[in-house]
Amino acid sequence: MRRDTFQAIADPTRRAIIALLALQAMTPNAIEKHFDTTRQAVSKHLRILTECELVRQEQKGREIYYSLEIEKMKEIDEWIAQFRKIWEARFSQLDEVLAVMKKKK
């Protein structure tokens, strides 16, 4: 069973849950109301997110509040960084070209 951050964000429902939890901690019941699935399906997603350590739980009486472990998202950001570097380099190249064109004019 692969269980990493990339696999966690592969599912659109999980991405939506992550985005929700970025704003505030929520209980499974509260999360469920934002979607068209059953509570159990949400619960399964939360299980996966917990296993990936993208989310942490905090028991409050009989409710469990889930909140986002936002630091984990940096894993994705770091991987993307190598490509961002490339397109930023291209952009500055374009900038140079434009500067040269302007000069000539």
| Under 8 Å between Cβ of 49 and 18 | yes
Q: Does 87 bind its own copies (CB under 8 A)?
A: yes
Question: Among candidates 51, 87, 84, which has minimal Cα distance to 66?
Answer: 51
Task: Identify what 45 binds: DNA, its own copies, none; CB under 5 to 8 Å per kind.
Answer: DNA
Instruction: Name the nearest CA neighbour of 18 among 75, 78, 59, 85.
Output: 75
Distance between CA 69 and CA 64 in Å, rounded?
Answer: 15
Q: Tell which one of 5, 57, 69, 73 touches DNA (CB under 7 A).
A: 57
Q: For the CB of residue 24, give the shortest distance to DNA in the complex, in Å.
A: 14
Report the interface residues with DNA, using CB under 7 A.
Answer: 1-3, 7, 10-11, 13-14, 27-30, 37-41, 43-48, 57, 61-64
